[in-house]
Amino acid sequence: MELVSDGDGLAIIGGPSAVERFMAAVGLSEEGSAPIGSVLRTGSVAALTGSEVAANAGRWVKLTEDSARAVKQFGLTPTKSPGVSHAMVGEPGNIKQWIQVVRTPASMLTNPAMLAGAAGLMAQIAMQQQMDAIMDYLAVIDRKLDDVLRAQTNEVLARLDGVELSVKEAMAVRASVGRVSEVTWSKVQAGAQTIHEVEGFALRQLGDLAERLERSRKVGDLADVTKEAEAEVQKWLVTLARCFELHDAVGVLELERVLDASPDELDRHRVGLRSARDERLALITDHTDRLLDRMHDAVGIANSQVLLNPRQSPAIVRSSNHVSSDVHEFRQVLGIESGHDSSTSRRWREAAADTLDQAKTVGGHGVTGIKRLGTGAQRGASAAARQPGRSIS
């Protein structure tokens, strides 16, 4: 059985029962994995490794921190294909740990073209898996949108409809003829610029929202901006997810085109696509990080002034939690590591008690502080008392 890794995923190629036993022994979950043959049945890249996979069984597994540690013990060695490592494993008879590294020549190692094809195939599978995850995410989000927000989102996404149609047509032709010709590729290539333009526009909108939050220091202004962000952020995250899905779809076709036109460049092009993808992820990470930081700052301001703003401060916290949850859900789909701790709004009585304690510690100035507290507390209590179901004691 052969193992091939490109750093993002692991291809396990061998007899069906051996692949199954290997995954169980190493602790690799079928969640996040896919049968290689069923994911991409057509195309030049699949054909290049098809004979090897067809003779056995192949499964692709997305590498996480845990699974990467699990396969590290097999000593995968670097190959001539950039970023790709390889090992042969076998059964050592009656030994309990049935898997051992085999140091004999491997079929893929002795065939550089097949090894490059395997790496290309793995890249395509990873893209396809990402596309499927994004489609599931978009379906869930669509059910959450109200009619107004759905109409606004569709207005933005309409710019990508032409690109989607071109990609679907190219995929259909590829499935029929088994390759991506120059004519087919020219139709898809023209849409790449549109994807970049829409993606750039969405990132700019997120950046503008973060900037407005940064400029807003008053609770009233923050309440308005954070409320607006609840709808706006969701719209731009959906747009970015759609762009990312189309980027991957174009990437699948691009590898097909390179193999058909310049097969010797397949490895270099695969590495280039991965580098471009990493740059897109870094850009999205930077913009969403900044937005999350500004939301966190808004919560801090809201909680520090909850005494005089018993209505608006909790509203800011609620909006911040809503936006943060949306951002973290989106980042998880793209594989961007992110924690999510909901912010808690300070109760009016807690803030009042803190202020009173502080006033008592300032000595001779404490009387003035308490008087100010009394005036502010009276206004805060009156505002809070007007809220349905709220009592202040």
Q: Which residues 6+ apart lie within 8 Å of 128 measured at CB? A: 34, 39, 40, 248, 252
Q: Does the CA dihedral 91-49-262-242 come out positive or negative? A: negative
Cβ count near 282 (within 10 Å):
11
Rounded distance, CA 72 to CA 162, Å? 44
Tokens 């599978």 label which residue? Answer: 125
Half-sphere exposure of 238 (CA within 13 A, CB side): 25
Which of the residues in the chain have pLDDT under 50? Answer: 40, 54-55, 93-99, 101-105, 345-349, 351-353, 355-356, 358-393
CA angle (82, 55, 69) in 5-degree steps: 45
pLDDT value at residue 66? 76
Would you say how long the chain is, in residues?
393
- From the list 188, 194, 291, the residue with the least C-alpha distance to 242 is 194
Other beta carbons less than 10 A from residue 54's beta carbon: 10
With b meaning 16 or more CB within 10 Å and e meaning fewer, what string describes 371-381?
eebeeebeebb
Which pair of structure tokens corresponds to residue 173?
């032709």
Residue type, 393: S
What 141-144 contacts at long range (C-beta under 8 Å, 24+ apart), as own/partner pairs, is 141/234, 141/238, 144/234
**C-alpha–C-alpha distance, residues 230 and 379, integer Å:** 29
**Which of 127, 10, 117 has the alpha carbon at shortest distance from 63?**
10
CA 88/CA 76 separation, integer angstroms? 8
The secondary structure of residue 216, as a DSSP letter, is: -
Give the H or E element holding residue 89: strand 85-90
pLDDT at 4: 85
